[in-house]
Chain A
């Protein structure tokens, strides 16, 4: 199940931007709305911000947060932080005060790039963040009498400073923390080195055969690993990204695909479910579209079949991976889509995948085992969480928690996932985080949160609640409580009341039964 390792030059992530800016200075790197930014402009913006960051003497490996849904701002700040020797922390823009505080505290962010629309989340918590020193925003952020300072981001850009002396950023330096929901409830920061991201980027570029002619429709947020890999792979080849990440109106995205003659499209199953079921996609024709990639969760064979029917000439790549692997671990080549329906394919170049039993021994052919991965793309570990790191990074490699079997030709099929993570849209949601919030409500005795199958989203969130004796609480009040404390995408879609929850003899809630209860 292993492939030839790919040979690559030692590089760091910002080299992608510099190389493309040198080769294609006048070419648009990013299109968004009716604006675009060339590689030269993007590189200049990144350098001005990096020069400013270096002057702030935040120290090697400082954590720079980005809380922005403006792709020009996000991408230029992303490269700036890394150029200045820092670690990027892309913050989820669908947030709450509580989530933001938790992530910024955990990562120890000292500088954050943000926009006015997110000030309302940041304002109430900023003074509680011990490490926060600087807030870079185009709009004033009140900071009288505080330890942190607001800096006008536009003024930084106007300096047009170029970097004369880069801090020594090594391939082994941490480039980025990507937060992923953990089974413990609180999200964990996956530490990715420059070398991890470069290895994965090179591998993806090779199997997707990306070139500077490629222009991808980027609908996935950059703060998740899939969106991050779409960004890096297209920057690496000097391609272009057409960015529309809210995906509220699929028809708008289709119009943009046509207008910009995109050659590629990347989505999660819910992206394709929305496009196929709630858009006018059947009335469009995309002669330039060359490839579609799908990852993020298992796509049903029915949906994959529908997609192939709508795009018979387009190469469809089914992919599998984890944030802990920088993004990608395996892919199913387009020519095998129909022959190997339901498979996640084989290891990508540079990665070895093994199926092991609980004791680390390879399982017999056709038997189910846990997918364990080895490759240069595998993370350094979880930020500040050695014990949890040691649980998944073991002598055999990265233990993914996903159980699979292999067919006679070595194609892998996921059988089940060990964790009870809910996959809704492009989000991975830990039920425990929601359960903890609901449990804080005074009327709640017990709660279990499960995913419920949904044609569009993959799964929706169902909270099964038992109230304390004699207490009443309308579902609306519990939803309001969730809304106040959780980002919108983690608020349950339905609340169902029970007199008691089904349990095993040892008192463990039987979630499977709650999922089936509908």
Chain B
């Protein structure tokens, strides 16, 4: 069986922890978490902790920027870059 796709894993994490019972269509993969008010500063820390545990990667302090973390697609690209 193929390992789960990171995009699917990210979406599950976001819905499970921040959007709860919201409709799947309420979050586009390019939607900014910041603009949409989905995540607050604690949420970013939870997200980073989850990334580090799930994908066995270390996120450096200088990598905590919206370019890496602020949408599902940005996260997918960041994970791919860090784990390749």
The answer to whether B61 and A246 touch across the interface, beta carbons within 8 angstroms, is no
Pick the contact of B20: A249, A250, A456, A483 (CB < 8 A): A483
Interface segment among A229-237, A276-284, A501-509: the answer is A276-284
A86 at the interface (CB under 8 A from B): no
Asked whether A128 is an interface residue with its Cβ less than 8 Å from the other chain, the reply is no
**Is A251 an interface residue when CB atoms closer than 8 A count as contact?**
yes
Quick check: B40 and A280 within 8 Å, CB to CB? no
The docked-state distance in angstroms from the alpha carbon of A94 to that of B39 is 11
Known: A246-B34, A249-B65, A278-B61. A480 touches B21 (CB 8 A): yes
User: Which among A93, A251, A484 has the highest number of chain B CB atoms within 10 Å?
Assistant: A251
Bitwise interface map of B from 18 to 32 toward A, beta carbon under 8 Å scored 1, else 0 = 101100000000000
Are A249 and B45 in contact, CB atoms less than 8 angstroms apart? Answer: no
* In the complex, B41 has a CB within 8 A of chain A: yes
B20-A248 in contact (CB<8A): no
Contact with B along A439-466 (1 / 0, CB 8 A): 0000000000000000011000000000
Min distance, Cβ B50 to any Cβ of chain A, angstroms = 14
- Residue of B20, B42, B61, B62 with highest tally of chain A CB at under 10 A: B42
Docked CA distance A164–B69 (Å)? 50
With A248-B34, A248-B66 as contacts: A480 and B41 at CB distance below 8 Å: no
Return A458 CB to nearest CB of chain B, in Å.
Answer: 11
Given A278-B45, A456-B45, A480-B21, also A248-B62 (CB < 8 A): no
Tell whether, in the assembled complex, residue A246 and residue B41 are in contact, meaning their CB atoms are under 8 Å apart: yes
Docked-complex contact B65 and A283, CB < 8 angstroms? no
* B51 on the A face (CB < 8 A): no
Whether B3 sits at the interface, judged by CB under 8 Å, is no
Chain A residues, CB < 8 A from B69: 249
Interface assignment of B64: CB less than 8 Å from any CB of chain A: yes
Q: Do A117 and B42 touch (CB < 8 A)?
A: no
Q: Are A280 and B61 in contact (CB under 8 A)?
A: yes
C-alpha gap A279/B42 in the complex (Å): 14
CB within 8 Å for A249 and B42 given contacts A117-B37, A278-B64, A480-B20 = no
Closest to B59 in A: A278
Bound state CA distance, A484 and B20, in angstroms? 9
Measured between beta carbons, the chain A residues less than 8 angstroms from B70 are 248-249
Contact A479 B20 (CB under 8 A): yes
Within 8 Å of chain B (Cβ to Cβ): is A286? no
B34 to A: closest C-beta gap in Å: 5
Q: Tell me whether A248 and B37 are in contact in the complex, defined as CB-CB below 8 angstroms, given that A279-B61, A483-B20 are known contacts.
A: no
Write the B68-80 contact mask toward A (1 if CB under 8 angstroms, else 0): 0110000000000
Complex interface: chain A residues within 8 A of B34 (CB): 246, 248-249
User: A274 at the A/B interface (Cβ < 8 Å)?
Assistant: yes
B40 touches A94 (CB 8 A): yes
Q: How far is the CB of B23 from chain A (nearest CB, A)?
A: 13
A283 to B63, CA, bound (A): 13
Tell me which of A248, A480, A488 has the highest count of chain B C-beta atoms within 10 A of its own C-beta.
A248
- Count of inter-chain pairs, beta carbons less than 8 A: 60
Which bucket holds chain A's interface residue count?
20 to 34
- Evaluate contact between A252 and B66: CB separation under 8 angstroms: yes
CA distance A274 to B61 in the complex (A): 10
Query: Which of A249, A252, A283 has the most chain B CB atoms closer than 10 A to its own CB?
Result: A249
Assembled-state Cα–Cα distance A93/B21 (Å): 21
How distant is B83 from chain A, measured CB to nearest CB, in Å? 21
CB closest residue in chain B, given A279: B61
A413 within 8 A of B: no
Query: Could you tell me the distance between the alpha carbons of A251 and B33 in the complex, rounded to whole angstroms?
Result: 16
Q: Residue B62 contacts which of A117, A251, A483, A493 (CB distance < 8 angstroms)?
A: A251
Counting CB contacts under 8 A, is A497 at the interface? no
Known A-B contacts A246-B34, A480-B21, A483-B20; A251 and B40 likewise in contact (beta carbons under 8 Å): no
| A247 adjacent to chain B (CB < 8 Å) | yes
B14: chain A residues at CB < 8 Å are: none
Q: B64 touches which one: A251, A479, A488 (CB < 8 A)?
A: A251
Say how far B57's CB is from chain A's closest CB, in angstroms: 16
| A425 at the B interface (CB under 8 A) | yes
Chain A residues with CB under 8 Å of B39's CB are: 248
- Please, which residue of chain B has its CB at the minimum distance from the CB of A250? B64
- Interface flag for A489 (CB, 8 Å): yes
Alpha-carbon distance A279/B59, docked complex (angstroms): 11
CB distance from A28 to the nearest CB of B (A): 23
Given contact pairs A246-B34, A246-B40, A247-B41, A279 touches B64 in the complex (Cβ within 8 A): yes
For A479, list chain B residues within 8 Å (CB): 20
Q: Chain A residues with Cβ under 8 A from B65's Cβ? A: 249, 251-252
28 contacts between A and B (CB under 8 A): A117-B36, A117-B37, A246-B34, A246-B40, A247-B41, A248-B33, A248-B34, A248-B43, A248-B70, A249-B34, A249-B64, A249-B65, A249-B70, A250-B64, A251-B62, A251-B64, A270-B41, A278-B48, A278-B64, A280-B62, A283-B62, A425-B42, A456-B42, A479-B20, A483-B20, A484-B21, A488-B18, A489-B40
Besides the known contacts A249-B64, A278-B61, A425-B40, 15 further A-B residue pairs in the complex with CB atoms under 8 A apart: A94-B40, A246-B40, A248-B34, A249-B34, A249-B69, A278-B48, A279-B61, A279-B64, A280-B61, A280-B62, A425-B42, A456-B45, A480-B21, A484-B20, A493-B42
